[in-house]
Structure 1
Amino acid sequence: MASPTLFSFITEQLADLKARGLYNTIEPLESANGPVIRMGGRSFVNLSSNNYLGLATDKRLIDAAVQATIQFGVGSGAVRTINGTLSLHIELEEKLAAFKGTEAAVAYPSGFNCNMAAISAIMGDGDAILSDELNHASIIDGCRLTKSKVIRYSHSDMDDLRTKAREARESGRYAKIMVISDGVFSMDGDIAKLPEIVDIAETYDLITYVDDAHGSGVLGGGAGTVKHFGLSGRVDLQIGTLSKAVGVVGGYVACSQAVADWLKARSRPFLFSTSLPPGAVAASIAAIDLLQESRDLQEQLWNNASYLQNGLRRLGFSLGPTATPITPCIVGDEEKTQRFSAMLYEEGIFAKAIVFPTVPKGTGRIRNMPTSEHTSEMLDRALAAYEKVGCELGIIG
């Protein structure tokens, strides 16, 4: 590094992270991100992918991506507002709107982009945002861009939300008030209390905003958390990703036609980011078609999740409040959590440690992500490894 100050700062901070068990080692895959992966010349049962339905390696999506790439090229060539909108983008947005039960949808290069785009395009100085304290980092960053007053409410505490919504509305200080929640909270696997959130929003005239990255494709027959609770038409903005259950890459905002028109006119990631490449768009269209045609993949996902979770609970592990396939094994101490993950690795199980700052200090966990593609034999291998390592570390008896 040219700057001694920068070199000193970086080396000191990295050493501190490593000493506290907070440094994350990134290992490249030598295979597709399926239920079994290869790294360092070895095979591992993969419990760290968000590829819930195995669509990232589905031949039908691959074929769609190849054909679109041959026809349209590897890149879209421009931002959406110049000439980077292909007929494929329009088809994808129409299918997403039908899938989510909204008038319209707007596609973005990533789910993170969606939260940066939509929140900042709608909320501004003189507004307020009520945000669950465990909302995703992209929501937090999106709120920071707005200059709005951000009011955090206790996680899924509807009494606290109601009190803060009433205070914000009765203060008369805010032109617009939005309530934002994840649909499914990615670190614990619990589901937002959307019926209560929507009731409170309708009482106090709040704009409703749900980030359903981990709910879409998993809940509500695949349509997500809003459909799961029968709330279609009562949520203003639904945010989704194309990179988890859909198996590709990108994100979208499902909303009214008026909101979609506004986002296309004023959301900066839409205006200044090159649009999704044709292959990714075509593969996403194929995935949405599959999700609408059959629920077989979702059913297998839930069966596998129950199998793994029941096995871990029988061994004595604490899984927290999960109500979804997200399966966190709570360890607590950051260093012990990292050691647990490393020992699982030696047993041929790839399950990453999740520690601060992704989760609060002292709540380190191994987050397991079963998919529809795992077999019972793969999950049995994982359970055997968990039993061995858990006993060695004194986490279970």
Structure 2
Amino acid sequence: MSSTAPAWSERLNEAAAWRRAQGLWRERCTPPAGTIDFAGNDYLGLAGDPRLAEAQAAGARDYGAGAGASHLVSGHLEVHEALERRLAELVGRPRALLFSTGYMANLGTLQALCDSATQVFQDRLNHASLLDGAGLAGARSRRFHHRDLDDLDRLLARAASDSARLVVSDGVFSMDGDVANVAGLAEISARHGAWLMIDDAHGLGVLGAHGDGCVGRGHGVDRVPVLVGTLGKALGTAGAFVAGSEALIEHLIQFARPYVYTTAQPPGVAAATLAALDILAIEPERRERLRVSIAYFRHEAARLGLPLADSFTPIQPLVLGDAGRVMRWAARLGEAGLRVGAIRPPTVPRGEARLRITLRATHDRDSLDRLLETLARLHGEDGR
């Protein structure tokens, strides 16, 4: 008996045709040699540092290319243990737990902490992994207006008081570059008996007196009980961690399925991250160079009439609105040897397509000027 449901190939073709018709088709591409990268998240310029490469090679020689098993079988090695201790020290928490990716850290944490009875309150612009993590747990996410503490306060006040509550926010918002009011979130969460979880993926290594992020040592575990950080951005390697109390970390070890059932991070990557933490501590001038570049870029962009969003972080969005316009500008920038992020729905809301420009400590003044001049020319050609 034949089925009336469309064949899988037909389903896939229909989905592809729809996305192409919407002008939202995505493609991978390798930039030509010599392209200046203003799209990635290597904020301190550590990904290409030879000291990290040597540490990674040494870690692989000492422990092997891969961990060989999950952390709970035989894959938790001395280098992982050392890295967890260093990360906990960096952010001023009793313990930290390694995950293979930032996405998995958020999925695992929310899945382990929440169930269908948990009330989760998320900033409307939170990263997809935070929304997906609550969904994996079967918890409904109530969305408060972006960085709107009054709206969060109202939602918490109306919520039933007989179930666990968790407030969740990005630290630095990845598409807008603005920063959560962590102190305000902590105060409101505590007043309503809720825990607070901050994903500081884009703040770690960049913000804070020690590169400890927008949460770090300034907001202790009593104020921000659940802190997530990633290693593949400012620290230049790969993976992520969750930091918090002894009880939190032990709970995640027992119940976070994306942790329990995944092969541990390659030991060479852990060794490279330890080297990155050393550089973070002994070379604070990297953060200072980045701060100076951000200030210069924003000053010159304002002088040229470029409508940047309000951000003091390395993420500098230029909202153009129309997805087609974003793709045209990105193509022209590519022809000039400049790579920027072309961000369209569904990553950002419809009508808010943008160029996501990211700065790093290793960008020199000539590269910044080249980008500014090209953007100004495109802006002038558009007559806006």
Report the AA paired with residue 358 of structure 1. T
**In structure 2, distance between residues paired with 1:333 and 1:318:** 15
Name the counterpart of 2:173.
185
**In structure 1, distance between residues paired with 2:18 and 2:340:** 24
Structure 1 unmatched ranges of 5 or more: 29-38
Report the AA paired with residue 239 of structure 2. G
Q: Secondary structure at the match of 1:145?
A: helix
**In structure 2, distance between residues paired with 1:264 and 1:333:** 45
* Residues 103, 257 of structure 1: 8 Å contact kept: yes
Name the counterpart of 2:287.
298
Runs of 4+ in 1 over 3 A off after TM superposition: none
Report the AA paired with residue 137 of structure 1. A
Name the counterpart of 2:198.
210
The aligned runs of 1:254-265 (5 Å cut-off) are 254-265=243-254
Report the AA paired with residue 123 of structure 1. C
Report the AA paired with residue 283 of structure 1. A
Name the counterpart of 2:364.
375
Q: Cα offset for 1:4?
A: 7.0
Identity percentage of aligned residues: 35
Name the counterpart of 1:238.
227
The aligned runs of 1:47-62 (5 Å cut-off) are 47-62=38-53
**In structure 1, distance between residues paired with 2:14 and 2:382:** 30
Name the counterpart of 1:7.
9
* Residues 79, 85 of structure 1: 8 Å contact kept: yes
Q: Cα offset for 1:306?
A: 1.7
Match of 1:146 among 137, 142, 147: 137
* Residues 317, 330 of structure 1: 8 Å contact kept: no
Q: Secondary structure at the match of 1:55?
A: coil
Match of 2:186 among 160, 179, 198: 198
Match of 2:82 among 76, 91, 105: 91
* Residues 349, 385 of structure 1: 8 Å contact kept: no
**In structure 2, distance between residues paired with 1:23 and 1:151:** 30
Q: What do residues 112-153 of structure 1 show as CA deviations (whole Å, max 9, x unaligned)?
A: 010000111011121100111110000010010112232111
Name the counterpart of 2:35.
44
The aligned runs of 1:1-397 (5 Å cut-off) are 5-28=7-30, 39-40=31-32, 42-168=33-159, 171-174=160-163, 176-221=164-209, 222-227=211-216, 230-233=218-221, 234-395=223-384
**In structure 1, distance between residues paired with 2:20 and 2:298:** 31
Q: How many residues align structurally?
A: 378
Structure 2 unmatched ranges of 5 or more: none
Deviates more, 1:99-108 or 1:56-65: 56-65
* Residues 172, 178 of structure 2: 8 Å contact kept: yes
Report the AA paired with residue 105 of structure 1. A
Q: Secondary structure at the match of 2:35?
A: strand
Q: Cα offset for 1:351?
A: 0.9
Q: What TM-score comes out, normalization by structure 1 length?
A: 0.92
